[in-house]
Amino acid sequence: MLTRRDRIFLSACTLAVAGVLAAPHLCAQRPAPAAVASPAGLVLRTAASPATPEILLEPDARAWQGVPAQRVALNRTPPLYDTDPPAELEIRYVDVRLARASEKLLLHLTWKDPTQNAEGIAALPSTQPETRDRKEHTSATERFFDAAAVMFPERAAQNGVWPSLQMGDAAGPVLIYYWNAARGAMRMQAEGRGTTRRTGETFPARALYRAGAWQVTMELPDLPAGLPLSLAVWNGAQQDRDGRKYFSVWLRLE
Amino acid sequence: MSHTHVEKSEGTPKRKSRVSRRNFLYTTAAGAAALALPGCRKSEPPVLSALAGDFDPLRSYPYRGWEDFYRKIWTWDKVVRSTHSANCTGSCSWKVYVRNGVMVREEQASDYPRISKDLPDYNPRGCQKGGCFVEYVYSPQRLRYPLIRTGARGEGKWRRASWDEALTLIAEKLLDNVYNYGPDTNTFFSVIPAMSPVSFCGGSRLAHYLGGVMLSFYDWYCDLPPGEPLTWGVQTEACECADWFNAKYIVLWGSNISQTRIPDAHFAFEARYNGAKIVAISPDFNSSCMHADLYWQINPGTDAALAMGVAKILMDENLMDVPYVKEQTDLPLLVVTGTRRFLRESDLKAGGKDDVFFVWDTKKSQPAATPGSMGSAEKTIRWNGVDPALTGSFRVMLADGNAAEVTTVFELLRSSLAAYPLEKVAQLTGLPAHEIQTFAREMGTRKPAMIIHGAGTNHWFHNDLTNRAMILLVALTGNVGKNGGGFNHYVGQERIWPEHGFFELAFPEGRKKQRFQNTTLWSYVHSASKDPHQYNGKPIEWYIQESVKNGWMPLWPAGGRKPRAFIVWRANYLNQAKGSEILETSLWRDLDLIVDINFRMDTTALYSDVVLPASSYYEKVDLNSTDCHSYIHTFGKALDPLFESKTDWDIFQALAQKISEVARRKGLQPFRDEKFEWSRDFTRLADDWTGKGSIVTDEQAADFILSHSKETQGMTYRNLQAQPKRFVATDEEAWNSDIEEGIAYTPFKHQVDKKRPWRTLTGRQQFYIDHPWYLELDEALPAYKEPIPEKFPLYWNTPHGRWSIHSTWRDHRAMLRLQRGMPIVYMHPDDARKRGLRDNDWVRIFNDIGQCVCRLQILPGEKPGRVTMYHGWEKFLGFQQGGWQSLTYIKIKPTQLIGKYGHVNFRLNYWGPTGNNRDIKVEVEKARVKA
Amino acid sequence: MSKHQYAMVMDLNKCLGCQTCTIACKKLWSDRDGTQHMYWNNVETRPGIGYPRQWDRIGGGWKDGQLQPSPLPTLDDYGAPWEYDYDQRLYEGKKKPVMPTPDPVSGPNWDEDVGALNGDENFYFYLLRICNHCTNPACLAACPRQAIYKRDEDGIVLLDQERCQGYRYCIAACPYKKIYFNEITGKSEKCIFCYPRLEKGEVNACAAQCPGRLRFVGLLDDPGSAVHRLVHVYKVALPLFPEKGTQPNVFYVPPFNPPRRTNYGQSILEDPRLPLEYLIYLFGAEVRDVIVRLEAELNRAQNGTQSEMLQLLIGRDAETRYQIPEPLVRIKMSIG
């Protein structure tokens, strides 16, 4: 049963998609002088890069200049809970670059975020707490951090059906490469909302905040063409976490 | 990742298929978006459906393996019993948990044996401070190795020294002092043996064999209630706290039990449910007052007026227990009206005794000698056919042939009570007159009735009068010596139940061969302290001189010499001293050597020359007991002394050995100590110290106490480690009741039930003290006297509180985090408003003595005209200037300098001038403090 | 509904405000990295700002079946835990007093013993709070990952430390603000009702270590338990803020304060020092009847007739206060 809220949201998404397809130029901060990002459509192009993954891991590496940026529209999840205040659509798109190098897929994301929510969290010390005079302190309890992620199915689609955008489903488990401005990169798995869990592994990722924008790079495995990818961005200033975020529709990897 | 199999006795949870508030549709990517759609709202309680799993978390959960996370936290390798030695009077037994060789936590042992099924038991016993002591063990304040100061005293500049170097320095200085200046220039200060007697005795034995001076503490801390030695001839005797449950009327008078008797307060509130009424008398509405049936916000320092006013009502309305009064008090004793002195046998016949007294026998219309007085041949107070008069005046023929009018103490008391009519008392105390009347009637009729008494009234200059007036109430109503009754005072853990064994261990050659000194007097005389007041037209110096000349109070060093060495252990002398600032700039400067033995760097240690690291409470062998209960239990070593610390016992043993070594090295001839006719051969001191090798280890010392005391016959340190044990008996020479199985201990049953004489001159609870000074000062009977006048508008109130035991825990982070992190002064909103002060402001507290700068908290429950700082704050923490004792100075009361009056004689910690501190006034203003 | 439900009754007329329960819990469970600001058990003076600050006024809970919004408390609302540099003053000769950092502006017990004035007379009491292990927990409903669950065998509500992602909807949802965020680990934590102890037959640390002996622990559905008798038979124990709708399983015997000046002997309901309105605010309208009943029992006892209910509240020993059954579920643990 579609409530009024559902209807509004569906319309918003339709508009968003339509808007993306018909997007006018929107200037974005660029990592390096390059062509204006063009709308991605539903396909994400990749470029072969002569640089190494190590070099490409640096968000402002010159090697990214040769990789065209694709603008992906972001949708805002609607307030999911009675207690959620609605949030403005402040981050409307993310610019994506994909480069294949040395059997890796390097992902470069850029998006505008006026506030950097990335305070350092004390790392857990290596010494035994009992003999340590000081235990590490929580510096704040109410803040959330900027983050970004890319999600894709763990295995090829069955019957051409892609998994639910809601963190996959039982038939279509997903992997999520998640970067958090305070906690770093972590690899996650899920098969539906509420089942997301860290695998315990990290992966190479870097981030750079400059002039009101984030640039984040991730080193992904060599993902096959045709694989659907979805992107997500969290804005800490808007109390984003969990399903309270910005997300894209499924985009097919070229 | 571990998983848990959950075996359940019933079936597996059913899958629920009801729609929840979050119901998601799945769509393909071909659609606009595969996204979450909020589902229907529900007004039923949310039984959630499975979202991705098939469980309802209200009913079951399939991933419970993670629960091991918290299970692993509550694990340990070893648990050891120990306790704390802080002078809290708690004497609580704790379990200390060790994991991976580290002490991680403690929890109350909760295994005190039950006294009876009717009485609530003593478990758990312990407070929040004990519950986090472990943090001290590894804290930055923990002393780890010997230190010798390199900067000025108090500067905090040290160099690490070896034990050998530190002990040699001390030994050489102590011996130098003996031979060059006299053994009485070496001074030793340690408090409260009961909290850790072995640790105390290590030092006292050294002082003993060195001929040094042992200082008092119970009177100096103003915890001694002088009214008890005066009225009862005892140090302090109170019922054990379980006996509170037997009371039907409990008066919390100057005692904030919720804060200062944390392990025992429950007995009072449980007594209330069992039918007692609780009256709380306190100038501030404090944590104990909230659970009272009647709360009285009394004007500070007027408690004796209230007591006298109540005594008057008891008398006027015939609410006294007359047979008890006649038998157990000196109220029927005859006083010669002209001289105001007791009628004595020496008055009636030549060669008669000075310590035989008389009553008027109404049956025979003639005086009759009272049995049981100090001079009486009869060792009982039972009247043998005599019915003493309480009222009336009579004539007797004196030895010199003249007739004299005599009357009873009762009559004198009655006329003195005329000065306390109800309206005047109500006006003085600020309490409603009709409630004072009700209170008096309830005290007279609700039995048994007890007063629980504390520092709130005892820390005043006229504490002796106030004590005596309160004791009068429970004596007039026949409540002393009965379960559930009495005047019960617990400030300070001074009572050593196994007294006999303790004294033998502490002073092996006997107390008559030991120099003892009242610390109040010592601190006053050897410093620039000066009390400007006059007492009956004379300065206190006159009284001190007379007292010392008469041999009433000792004064060491004798002959006007000054003290040279000062050894402190188990105490924080400088931080806690009245007139701390005055002492710091006079006495402290004049000392040649100051040694502190401690487990943490407190203020005294910070201001010492040599600091020796003592093991903490969880790294030693010792015993612990208290007035508050009738058990004894043990310290234990959760770990061996950490870092380079040693137990106090071992430190003094090492020092004794070092002294002997130095004496041998220097070829010292024995020192002739004339006062005791004692030839002191210091080359043998180490051997003497161990009792010629019979008491070498801490455990042997503990066993010595246990085996040499009636209270602990059959007990050993080892068998006590299993569980606290109740004392098996009491030494009749020391104590005034037996240990009775199934019955909580209350004192004075020997007197009330067995009719043994009270330990006083008259053999009775003695309210009339006819010492010449008392007569001159009009204090022969209890009375109300106003606090000593001071200029400045606000009383400076420094009570004991919940967040520290004196200065211990004052610097403890876990405790500070539950307060405001630093020293605070409390003030009533009206007083704050008048001074333009707001909550959390920095303020300067000052008077003519000194000042301190700290922060303010507005407290509506405070009494206007008074500010409160809970006591014990370390000088080095939080204060921008000064400390809590910067505003005080030593005041000595003349009445507390007397001696050689029957039962009133100097005896260490039993009688001597008290270090009162509440008759002080200050002003408070905003302070400017740079961040 | 779980098969059984652990409950706790706290008699506020025995509380000393000593915070031994707070320290017992803290030293056992929340003395780790990232938990220094947490006091799963706290004791706050009432009336007062509470811990975290104003927790009773900022939201959460249920209303008409809907979860109510609430902001998340900040670290200052909990109180930033102060640290001290002892070394510089005690060992390094630097002479500056040892000071708390950061500069104290708030804390878990900031307004201890302050209370309020009724006319010119002060009143206050201590309110002890733990997680209420509710029957209708808002936190459980709020978690999108269903990482909060109620144990079927005993009703204890737990927050899965592995599956929690630190979203903190639960913190917002809890009307008692009894869930705390550990930013170091990125997970939320809360009172666990000492299940590791209960499983071994030991009562909760906050209860076991309370010198006031004011806590009663047992299964609410066990008719022989003290908690059952106090809540359902004598009906003298009430939950806090029942209108929040979470059905707490922690109950309070409401507090008395002594009468106002000159009122000794009057009923506590006539012109009381502690206004009834304040107790109604905390416990609901039912509190009036409870106070009437308690006062009657106290009068009877103080006039010489024993009160059965008060004899139970005396709680003479551990057996009277705690009825911990054999572990309700045999847990086979495989610890890695």
In this prediction, residue B7 carries a pLDDT of: 31
Q: Indicate the pTM of the whole model.
A: 0.93
Computed over its alpha carbons, how large is the radius of gyration of chain C?
A: 21
pLDDT < 70 positions in chain C:
327-336
In this prediction, residue B114 carries a pLDDT of: 97
In this prediction, residue A34 carries a pLDDT of: 43
In this prediction, residue B340 carries a pLDDT of: 98
In this prediction, residue B28 carries a pLDDT of: 26
Could you tell me where the beta strands, DSSP code E, fall in A3-156?
A: 38-39, 43-44, 47-48, 70-73, 75-76, 93-101, 104-112, 147-153
Res B341 pLDDT > 80: yes
CB contact under 8 A, B258 and C16: yes
Chain C CB contacts of A139 under 8 Å are: 75, 183
Chain B CB contacts of C303 under 8 Å are: 275
Please name the residue of chain B whose CA is at the shortest distance from the CA of residue C149: B57
Which tens digit of pLDDT belongs to each residue from B757-812?
Answer: 999 999 999 999 999 999 999 999 999 999 999 999 999 999 999 999 999 999 99
**Residue A155: is it exposed, middle or buried by C-beta count within 10 angstroms (0-12/13-18/19+)?**
exposed
C-alpha closest to that of B452 among B297, B234, B269: B269
For the segment B521-541, the average pLDDT, to the nearest whole number, is: 97
Which tens digit of pLDDT belongs to each residue from B77-121?
Answer: 999 999 999 999 999 999 999 999 999 999 999 999 999 999 999
Which tens digit of pLDDT belongs to each residue from B359-414?
Answer: 999 999 999 999 999 999 999 999 989 999 999 999 999 999 999 999 999 999 99
Min Cα–Cα distance to chain C from B193, Å:
25
In this prediction, residue B303 carries a pLDDT of: 98
Res B20 pLDDT > 60: no
For the segment B542-560, the average pLDDT, to the nearest whole number, is: 97
Q: Tokens for B915, please give them.
A: 């270090």
CB contact under 8 A, A14 and B41: no
Res B692 pLDDT > 60: yes
Res A30 pLDDT > 50: no
**Residue A181: is it exposed, middle or buried by C-beta count within 10 angstroms (0-12/13-18/19+)?**
buried
CB contact set of B123 (below 8 Å; sequence gap of 6+): B108, B110, B111, B112, C317, C318
C-alpha closest to that of B94 among B104, B103, B82, B86: B82
Rounded-to-integer distance, Cα B822 and Cα B876, Å: 11
Q: Tokens for C2, please give them.
A: 């779980």
Q: How confident is the model at residue A78 (pLDDT cuts 50, 70, 90)?
A: confident
For the segment B555-584, the average pLDDT, to the nearest whole number, is: 97
Q: How confident is the model at residue B665 (pLDDT cuts 50, 70, 90)?
A: very high
Considering chain A, what is the average pLDDT of its residues? 84
User: Considering only residues 125 to 184 of chain B, which have any Cβ-Cβ distance to chain C shorter than 8 Å?
Assistant: 125-128, 131-132, 134, 139-141, 151, 155-158
For the segment B600-628, the average pLDDT, to the nearest whole number, is: 98
3-state SS string over chain C? Answer: CCCCCEEEEEECCCCCCCCHHHHHHHHHHCCCCCCCCCCCCEEEEECCCCCCCCCCCCCCCEECCEECCCCCCCHHHHCCCCEECHHHHHCECCCCCECEECCCCCCCCCCCCCCEEECCEEECEEEEECCCCCCCCHHHHHCCCCCEEECCCCCCEEECCCCCCCCCHHHHHCCCCCEEEECCCCEEEECCCCHHHHCCCCCCHHHHCCCCCCEEEEECCCCCCHHHHHHHHCCCCECCCHHHCCCCCEEEECCCCCCCCCCCCCCCCCCCCCCHHHHHHHHCCCHHHHHHHHHHHHHHHHCCCCCHHHHHHHCCCHHHHECCCCCCCCEEECCC
Rounded-to-integer distance, Cα B48 and Cα A113, Å: 36
Rounded-to-integer distance, Cα B491 and Cα B235, Å: 12
**For residue B845, how many C-alpha atoms fall within 13 Å in the half-sphere facing its CB?**
33
Rounded-to-integer distance, Cα B660 and Cα A174, Å: 81
Q: Whose structure tokens read 């006026």?
A: A114
For the segment B214-236, the average pLDDT, to the nearest whole number, is: 98
Residue A197: which of C34, C163, C181 has the nearest Cβ? C163
Chain B CB contacts of A79 under 8 Å are: 38
Which tens digit of pLDDT belongs to each residue from B290-312?
Answer: 999 999 999 999 999 999 999 99
Min Cα–Cα distance to chain B from A98, Å:
21
Rounded-to-integer distance, Cα B381 and Cα B383, Å: 6
Please name the residue of chain A whose CA is at the shortest distance from the CA of residue C143: A194
Chain B neighbors (3+ CB pairs < 8 Å): A, C
Can you tell me whether residue B217 is helix, strand or coil?
coil
Rounded-to-integer distance, Cα B810 and Cα B878, Å: 11
Can you tell me whether residue B336 is helix, strand or coil?
strand
Q: Quick one: angle between helices B433-445 and B422-429, nearest 10? A: 110
Of the candidate ranges A24-38, B669-683, B864-878, C310-324, the one whose mean pLDDT is the lowest = A24-38
Distance of CA C97 to the CA centre of its chain: 36
In this prediction, residue A88 carries a pLDDT of: 86
Task: Give yes or no for B252 touching C (CB within 8 A).
Answer: no
Task: Give yes or no for B48 touching A (CB within 8 A).
Answer: no
C-alpha closest to that of C56 among C68, C41, C39: C68
Res A4 pLDDT > 60: no
Q: Taking every pair of C-alpha atoms in chain C, what is the biggest distance, in angstroms?
A: 67
Q: Quick one: angle between helices C276-283 and C287-302, nearest 10? A: 120
Please name the residue of chain A whose CA is at the shortest distance from the CA of residue C75: A140
Higher pLDDT, B750 or A12: B750
Please name the residue of chain A whose CA is at the shortest distance from the CA of residue C147: A194
Please name the residue of chain A whose CA is at the shortest distance from the CA of residue C68: A83
CB contact set of C312 (below 8 Å; sequence gap of 6+): C226, C229, C230, C234, C320
Considering chain B, what is the average pLDDT of its residues? 94
In this prediction, residue B38 carries a pLDDT of: 32
Chain B CB contacts of A77 under 8 Å are: 35-36
In which region does residue B840 sit, left (phi positive, over 0), alpha (psi from -120 to 50) or beta (all else)?
A: left
Task: Give yes or no for A197 touching C (CB within 8 A).
Answer: yes
Rounded-to-integer distance, Cα B77 and Cα B851, Å: 50
Percent of chain B predicted with pLDDT > 70: 94
Percent of chain B predicted with pLDDT > 90: 93
Min Cα–Cα distance to chain A from B21, Å:
8
CB contact under 8 A, B33 and A169: no
Which tens digit of pLDDT belongs to each residue from C92-136?
Answer: 999 899 999 999 999 999 999 999 999 999 999 999 999 999 999
Res A35 pLDDT > 60: no
Task: Give yes or no for C336 touching A (CB within 8 A).
Answer: no
C-alpha closest to that of B84 among B494, B595, B626, B568: B626
Which tens digit of pLDDT belongs to each residue from C7-42?
Answer: 999 999 999 999 999 999 999 999 999 999 999 999
C-alpha closest to that of B919 among B604, B363, B457, B480: B457
Chain B CB contacts of C298 under 8 Å are: 272-273
In this prediction, residue B24 carries a pLDDT of: 23
Min Cα–Cα distance to chain C from A134, Å:
8
Q: How confident is the model at residue A122 (pLDDT cuts 50, 70, 90)?
A: confident
For the segment B554-564, the average pLDDT, to the nearest whole number, is: 97
Residue C52: is the preceding peptide bond cis (ω within 30°)?
yes
Cβ contact B639:B625 at 8 Å: no
CB contact set of B216 (below 8 Å; sequence gap of 6+): B516, B517, B518, B519, B520, B908, B909, B912
User: Which residues are registered as beta bridge partners of A139?
Assistant: none
User: Considering only residues 250 to 309 of chain C, which have any Cβ-Cβ distance to chain B shorter than 8 Å?
Assistant: 255-259, 261-262, 264-265, 298, 301-304, 306-307
Residue A138: which of C142, C167, C182 has the nearest Cβ? C182
CB contact set of B264 (below 8 Å; sequence gap of 6+): B90, B241, B244, B257, B490, B628, B629
For the segment A141-151, the average pLDDT, to the nearest whole number, is: 97
CB contact under 8 A, A137 and C142: no
User: Considering only residues 260 to 299 of chain B, which have any Cβ-Cβ distance to chain C shorter than 8 Å?
Assistant: 262-263, 265-266, 269-270, 272-277, 280, 285-287, 289-295, 297
Buried b or exposed e, range B177-195, using 16+ CB within 10 angstroms: bbeebbbbbbbbbbbbbbb
Which tens digit of pLDDT belongs to each residue from A186-239?
Answer: 999 999 887 888 899 999 999 999 999 999 999 999 999 999 999 999 999 999
Residue B38: which of A78, A133, A250 has the nearest Cβ? A78
Task: Give yes or no for C72 touching A (CB within 8 A).
Answer: yes
Which tens digit of pLDDT belongs to each residue from B111-138?
Answer: 999 999 999 999 999 999 999 999 999 9
- Give the helix/strand (H/E) hosting B926: strand B921-926
Which tens digit of pLDDT belongs to each residue from B241-259?
Answer: 999 999 999 999 999 999 9
Q: Tokens for C174, please give them.
A: 């809890």
DSSP-derived secondary structure for B408-432: EHHHHHHHHHTT--HHHHHHHHT--
Residue C98: which of B64, B266, B877 has the nearest Cβ? B877
Higher pLDDT, B648 or A20: B648
CB contact under 8 A, B36 and A1: no
Rounded-to-integer distance, Cα B217 and Cα B748, Å: 25
Rounded-to-integer distance, Cα B505 and Cα B705, Å: 7
Residue A6: which of B26, B32, B38 has the nearest Cβ? B38
Judge if ipTM > 0.95. yes
In which region does residue B628 sit, left (phi positive, over 0), alpha (psi from -120 to 50) or beta (all else)?
A: alpha
